[in-house]
Structure 1
Amino acid sequence: MSAVLDDLFDRLRAATSPVEIEALQDAIWQHWLSTGQQHLDKALEAGMRALQAEDYTAAIAEFNQIIQLAPQLAEGWNKRATAYYLRGEYRAALSDIAAALQREPRHFGALWGQFRILEHLGETRRALAILNRLDAICSGFYGLRELQLTFRERLGENDAID
């Protein structure tokens, strides 16, 4: 983990303004999307273009290449999880999200994806646990408090969230 990324996350944790939160998230994404290796950056770009074109098989192939060449990069796992998710392969997506989070536990993109899958699968308690992890990263994420409240109510936990 880099000092720059650690600083961005420290600032994100303290941020309260939606504009500041968005700017910090964008800076973190830029950090994650730049591997510093041209061939990996090109594969990442190609995979993201394939995702946009809804060619999930091609996207997965590009992200497989990144994972094989640089398994330590969380974003390769996260992007492949996205492709699996969009293809409806939720268990494969959850497996890749776990791998991404093992490499970068603060990966809010992977956590949001994990939350959405768990929500879709009706795993309310686990989904709430993910929302609580997101809260520890940045309590000011848009809509987070409302989602936490909704999921606590579903579980019969009507206590207010601090």
Structure 2
Amino acid sequence: MNPDDLFARLREATAPTEIEALQNGIWQHWLTTHDHRLDKHLEVGMRAMAAGDYTLAIAEFDVLVQARPAYAEGWNKRATAHYLRGEYRASIRDVQQTLRLEPRHFGALAGWATMRRMLGDTAGALRLLRRLEKICPHQPGLQAQLRDLLEQLDNPES
């Protein structure tokens, strides 16, 4: 099934297992460059990130974004590695590029919302989660996060 069909079904899906299966199908499309050499850099970078070697991961993802700047997942993976290393500005720059290339990237939207929330930008986090809601309205936990952010905006002292 192509990604557009998966996204259409994702908007309608309500069961957590169905949502997860559809998102996994989308990730399968995102996680291939259709170039064996670049797929290898992606794989090495992901393994390095899983092992906590964020410097190596970023170096591998650098190769991806330089060789294929239109490949959204290269930017997203590098954003994740920057985030895990505590480099939020660099992560946000890469997330923004990810979303320019793939505006429906639910992982990038959720990650950016988390960073905005951590940085005290409740309104910014809310805007990003509203964008996520249009893509996957029944994402488990999303409605609770939205309610929490709205409550924080209504009661800034609490």
TM-score over 0.5 (shorter chain): yes
TM-score (norm. length: structure 2): 0.96
Q: Confirm whether residue 151 of structure 1 aligns to residue 145 of structure 2.
A: no
Q: 1:56-75 counterparts in 2 under 5 A?
A: 56-75=54-73
Q: 2:13 aligns with which of 6, 15, 19?
A: 15
Q: 1:111-126 counterparts in 2 under 5 A?
A: 111-126=109-124
Q: State how many pairs are aligned.
A: 155
User: Structure 1: 5+ residue runs without aligned partners?
Assistant: 158-162
Aligned letter for 2:55?
Answer: T
Q: Which runs of 4+ in 1 moved over 6 A?
A: none
Aligned letter for 2:34?
Answer: G
Tell me, in whole angstroms, the C-alpha distance in 2 between the residues paired with 1:120 and 1:131: 14
SS at match of 2:93: helix
Q: 1:2-151 counterparts in 2 under 5 A?
A: 4-151=2-149
Aligned letter for 2:90?
Answer: A
Aligned letter for 1:71?
Answer: P
Deviation sequence 1:69-128 (CA, Å, 0-9, x none)? 000000000000001000000010000000000000000011111011001101000000
Tell me, in whole angstroms, the C-alpha distance in 1 between the residues paired with 2:43 and 2:109: 22
Tell me, in whole angstroms, the C-alpha distance in 1 between the residues paired with 2:33 and 2:21: 20
SS at match of 1:64: helix
RMSD: 1.0
Deviation sequence 1:54-83 (CA, Å, 0-9, x none)? 100000000000001000000000000001
Which residue pairs with 1:160 in the alignment? none
Instruction: Note the C-alpha offset of 1:36.
Output: 1.0
SS at match of 1:28: helix
SS at match of 2:120: coil
Aligned letter for 1:104?
Answer: E
Tell me, in whole angstroms, the C-alpha distance in 1 between the residues paired with 2:38 and 2:6: 23
User: Structure 2: 5+ residue runs without aligned partners?
Assistant: none
Tell me, in whole angstroms, the C-alpha distance in 2 between the residues paired with 1:123 and 1:94: 13
